[in-house]
Amino acid sequence: MKRTIFIMIVCLISGILKSNSQSITDVIICDTLTYIEKIATIENDSGSIFKNSSASEQKRYNRWRAFYDYRVNNGEDISSYYLL
């Protein structure tokens, strides 16, 4: 009985910690950040958000960044690309 309660508590704590962590998709979807701020957020702290994400999410981020790197001027919002 004690073991079951302990396992449930550990699972609950790990679930709460996991839900509070930020993912690449959360940062990219955020409308308040500019393109440069999004990249800085993802790659800050030695790329902690990038390293802690899944391989498919990393691949999607690399494609997203490669697409917008030459289409958005420094510091501008991504929507400026669509206004041209």
Q: Dump pLDDT digits (tens) for 17-55.
A: 554 467 888 888 887 888 888 888 888 877 888 888 889
Tell me the C-alpha distance between 55 and 62, whole Å.
11
Phi/psi at 41 (nearest 5 deg)?
Answer: -65, -45
Query: Which token pair is 11?
Result: 């699972």
Per the CB < 8 A criterion, the answer to whether 77 and 35 are in contact is yes
Q: Residue 40's domain spans which residues?
A: 23-83
- What local confidence, expressed as pLDDT, does residue 29 receive? 86
- Report the number of distinct structural domains present in the chain: 1
- What local confidence, expressed as pLDDT, does residue 19 receive? 46
Per the CB < 8 A criterion, the answer to whether 50 and 61 are in contact is yes
- Any domain includes 46: yes
Query: What does pTM read for this prediction?
Result: 0.64
- Any domain includes 12: no
pLDDT for 63 beyond 90: yes
Per the CB < 8 A criterion, the answer to whether 61 and 24 are in contact is yes
- Any domain includes 1: no
